[in-house]
Amino acid sequence: MSDIAKNLFNEYPSHYMEGEESINELGEMYGLEGDFSAFFMILNPNHPNYDDKLNDLELEYEMFSAGYEDTSAGFLKDGGEVSRIGMFQSKFTIDQMYSILGDVLFDVYQIKKIILSCFHKFNNTKDFKGLIPKWDFDKLVIGTFNPSNDFHESNTANF
């Protein structure tokens, strides 16, 4: 992984987003609602598994493809790479992209990540010695990791 895909995408993002101003607008155009994952990929169309690997992403992992362009990023001596944006309604990672595409993928840049919310465990729970803050919300965006699932009076995670 390098910064080639990142730099190429960020140089002219609207060029790859089919005229849309943002990745969210592009996702909406393809019917993606709410949060989704999006990647800018530089691919080797000459690879013998190119079509099969992309079909796997589209059929097995429900990837929406957009912004297909011929690209010259320096991976092939005479140019000829292709780029495209892949969008997923579910959480998807760069590691998954490399695992599925293998040598078909030259480089990838994650444009958009899904942000998972955390549930506030102690919302509407009996207060222990007045230590639980008064929350008006049922979700907590930032929290601590507590694998033992215990309440700690000192408000620290003890492992």
Q: What is the mean pLDDT of the chain?
A: 78
What is the pLDDT at residue 55? 92
Residue 39's pLDDT band (cuts 50, 70, 90): very high
What does the block give as tokens for 158? 């003890």
Please report the DSSP string for 77-132 in residue order: TT--EEEEEEEESS---HHHHHHHHGGGEEEEEEEE---PPEE-TTTTPPPSTT-S
Length of the chain: 159
Average pLDDT rounded to a whole number, residues 96-106: 92
Res 49 pLDDT > 90: yes
* Separation of first and last alpha carbons in the chain: 35
d(CA 2, CA 94): 12
Query: Could you say which of 3.40.50.620, 3.20.20.210, 3.40.30.10, 3.30.70.260 is the CATH number of the domain covering 4-112?
Result: 3.30.70.260
d(CA 24, CA 27): 5
Q: Where are the CATH 3.30.70.260 domain residues in the chain?
A: 4-112
User: Which pTM does this prediction carry?
Assistant: 0.69
